[in-house]
A and B are shown apart, each in its own frame.
Chain A
């Protein structure tokens, strides 16, 4: 079970029309090397699930600029003018999701739940077309799970089994996405031997991680 992998092996996993999740918040905690591999392979027609589209030259914004994405599911696109331009030109379909709802939709995919009831967005355009459930006198929107073919995540450190440690606010969506995709690839700054990370300190258990590459 060799998880530490190469650029070429990752390249072989990528194909057109896949659904991808990519971690990060304004490109902090985004696996830049993995995004660069996607840009290099130039796979097209991707569905991209991420918090925001970073900047034109940083984070998942590079995939937008390279016109590889046909559908985007994100909470914020304001820091990358190219995303707004493509949306207004009808070149990309954008589903804007409140950030906490995005996190929970990813989490419930990985946790085997059929959805989540949230008060966020009640009385706004977000509730349009969705099931509204009133329970115990409170109104909620039923938000459904988000799965992906591949999750590309970023961590500070991995052991060779894939146990992960994150640094600072670079954690964000990464642990959630690690649970919600068929194939999970972690880009890490440091790879250590099994046994050098205390099991008490592990933030994402290695069982979720399929492939590891050094940044």
Chain B
């Protein structure tokens, strides 16, 4: 039985083209890098100032000055480059990043995304998320389909403060693969064993069922 992380990771990874410059958010999005299909390699951008993000170094080989956007020790690949924060966000805002993969607290049928604060509860700040959704050419939401308490996260209208307005292009969850269009959220693929009724029951927005609906290949 595949875990949500594995299902989401494998499906998101198939959205990339060889050589794409990609920024992966913290958590489930980070895991996407583990599931790239054969023959596809991507270049990872780290918002704190480099491209060519490489794997975690073995114990004892960490460099205190090379960390990812979560502050964890990482490596830089031989083709990589370091730069300052203005360059890092020029790369993001300037449309040079092919895709960003982010989690969500809420996403709605207009593609509005909320993932940076819950008023009165959690106000960590937006960090680089608002720039990423404004600038990346494709915004992919990778998350568990519903909240921990079972309440829907894919809504008719976000109620939390937005990270970006009309920014989400794709939503990938352990239940299905969806595209945000001008008409609403189109369900294009269902995870193995999941029915249209199952996924709709956990979604507040009315899903538009693609005429070409198929089973997700994972």
Where the two chains meet, the residues of A that have a C-beta atom closer than 8 Å to any C-beta of B are 25-29, 51-52, 74-79, 84, 87, 96, 98-104, 106-107, 118-126, 156, 166-176
Q: How large is the interface on B (under 10, 10 to 19, 20 to 34, 35 or more residues)?
A: 35 or more
Q: Which residues of B contact A167 (CB under 8 A)?
A: 65
Q: Please give 7 more A-B residue pairs, beta carbons under 8 A apart, in addition to A78-B125, A107-B86, A126-B126.
A: A52-B127, A84-B124, A98-B129, A119-B93, A121-B134, A169-B67, A172-B88
Q: How far is the CA of A80 from the CA of B67 in the complex (A)?
A: 18
Which DSSP category, helix, strand, loop or mixed, fits chain B's interface? loop
Given contact pairs A119-B93, A121-B134, A122-B134, A168 touches B128 in the complex (Cβ within 8 A): no
Does B164 sit within 8 A of A, measured CB to CB?
Answer: yes
Contact between A120 and B50 (Cβ–Cβ < 8 Å)?
Answer: no
Contact between A124 and B65 (Cβ–Cβ < 8 Å)?
Answer: no
Does B151 sit within 8 A of A, measured CB to CB?
Answer: no
Q: Which residues of A contact B47 (CB under 8 A)?
A: 99
Contact between A124 and B162 (Cβ–Cβ < 8 Å)?
Answer: yes
Q: Which residues of B contact A104 (CB under 8 A)?
A: 86, 89
Where the two chains meet, the residues of B that have a C-beta atom closer than 8 Å to any C-beta of A are 46-50, 63-67, 69-71, 76, 82-86, 88-90, 92-93, 112, 123-131, 134-135, 161-166
Contact between B63 and A168 (Cβ–Cβ < 8 Å)?
Answer: yes
Contact of B49 among A77, A87, A106, A169 (CB under 8 A): A169
Q: Which residue of A lies closest to B131 (CB)?
A: A100
Contact between A172 and B131 (Cβ–Cβ < 8 Å)?
Answer: no
